[in-house]
Amino acid sequence: MDLRTVKLDIEPGKLVFAWLLFAVSTLVFAGLFAVLLALSRTPVIQELYQGKNFVRVALVGHVDLSVVIWFLAFMGVLWVLSSTSFLKAKLFCPILGWTGFWVTVGGSILLTIATVFALGEPIFSNYVPVLTHPVFYFSLVLIGLGTGLTVINTLLTVITAEKPLGLPVLTFGMTAAGIAVIIGLLCFGIAYFLIPNEIAPGISLDPGLYFERLFWGGGHILQFANTIGMVTAWLLLAYLTLKNVPIGSDRMATLAFALYILFMLPAPFIFFHTDINGQTYKDSFTHLMKYGLGPSTAFFAVGIIRGMVKQRKEGSFNWADPAFSSLVLSMSLFALGGAVSLFIRGSNLKIPSHYHGVIGAVTTAFMGLTYYIIPLLGREVWSQKMAKYQPYLYATGQAIFVLGMFWAGAHGVPRKTYGTAQNLDSFAKTAGMVLQGIGGLIAVMGGASFVLNVLPSLLKKKERGQPEG
């Protein structure tokens, strides 16, 4: 599927524009919070943050905006494209599509407000950190509801569309991502009803433990959606830049996407066969993600690499093309994050080092793809020169950030600590944290250049005869 040949009808074009503008806008606040976080862990500067609770609040906002909402919003773009333009179909229900969008936007605005005003205490629960305040809770409900409505509209569009040539591979892939979101939301709901309010008569459950259990299962399943979205972006970028993408037949690629689904399906049943308060519950979801994400992702990665090797023998690559550079850098970051995971022992900065490599890979792929979605909307990329260098800036910063965290974690720096609590009592620890601080700021610069390039591109006056935004 070459994006340069895709045609957008007016209605889905408007929805794609809305989702993309919203997705990029979430990175503005995520980036601002990221600056605080990078500085809070950097020697000398960290002294300014000693005892400052807003740094911990900023982490909650940064993670939710950059990992949860940004990913879901960009997949909103892919869901609309894959179910309409790729399938040559109309939206099942435009009203449902717009309702899902605006509900998600409303929830995201509330979440940002709660973070800016530091409402409640920060809880660093895995996958979805929270602030203990009703406004923040309600924002998460709205985001989940809006995303769920969007996925339902996507699935109904795919089901009701005429498919004389069958279901395109990428449409099936994003359908699998939608199924992952639905199963993830179902897991959140089941966990909510199963978690006891008290660990003993008169003794309330600690909020940290409560939210950790609430988001553990569904959070793992959402990583399937993120990974599938990234793989879909890889394939779209590969089709843009490689003459041949040998991923086997469409049937093999479809089976690889279906394998993701196969590992997701047992998730809701885990709650009824394990104790939600026990270690088996946590291990079960860990194993689903550990064994469910690897085989299919490796299948697609190997196919793309084979295409690169074949093309290299026939000619050269265009490293100035953001589609190609984003593809290579995303795959490299994903491999780096995977390699780091092999060395994780105990609870230290190796853990966030691992997942920052992986989520950096997802973001890099989505950023690179954005430059080719903009023309579909009747707009031009504001600065082609900035688009040429931006993937390198962001991915390089992210790689340095990951390596710095890994080095510090290897020397015992604990995770989820800031300021003097990090106990940087050796040169090795200090060097690692300086490195992550430098990498973090470079990555923020790369993210900022992406936003500063894409926002003017989207807001530029549309050309006549093109889809309106």
**What are the boundaries of each domain within the chain?**
318-460
pLDDT of residue 59: 86
At residue 38, the pLDDT reads: 62
341 versus 282: the higher-pLDDT residue is 282
Q: Encode pLDDT of 392-423 as tens digits.
A: 999 999 999 999 988 888 877 776 665 555 66
Question: Considering the entire predicted model, what is its pTM?
Answer: 0.91
pLDDT the model gives residue 466: 47
Rounded CA gap, 125 and 145, in Å?
Answer: 21
Q: Looking at the predicted structure, is the pLDDT value of residue 175 above 90? A: yes
Mean pLDDT, range 340-359, rounded to an integer:
82
pLDDT at 46 over 70: no
Mean pLDDT calculated for residue range 211-218: 95
Query: With 80 as the cut, is the pLDDT of residue 465 above it?
Result: no
d(CA 442, CA 437): 9
Question: CA–CA separation, 191 vs 216, rounded Å?
Answer: 9
pLDDT tens digits, 217-243: 999 999 999 999 999 999 999 999 987
Average pLDDT of span 46-73? 80
Model confidence at 134: pLDDT above 50 = yes
Of the pLDDT bands very low, low, confident and very high (cuts 50, 70, 90), residue 107 is very high
Contacts with 260 (C-beta within 8 Å, 6 or more apart), sequence order: 176, 180, 224, 227, 228, 292, 293, 296
What residues contact 17, with CB distance under 8 A and at least 6 apart? 377, 458, 467, 468, 469
The answer to whether 46 touches 39, Cβ cutoff 8 Å, is: yes
Mean pLDDT of 105-133: 93
Q: For the segment 12-37, what is each residue's pLDDT rounded down to a tens digit?
A: 999 999 999 999 999 998 888 877 76
Residue with more model confidence, 196 or 27: 27
Residues 6 or more apart from 323 whose CB is under 8 A from it?
A: 237, 240, 241, 368, 369, 371, 372
pLDDT band at 433 (very low <50, low <70, confident <90, very high): confident
What 3-state DSSP class applies to 204? strand
Give me the pLDDT at residue 469, please.
Answer: 44
Domain formed by 318-460, architecture: Up-down Bundle (1.20)
Token couple for 228: 């599938």
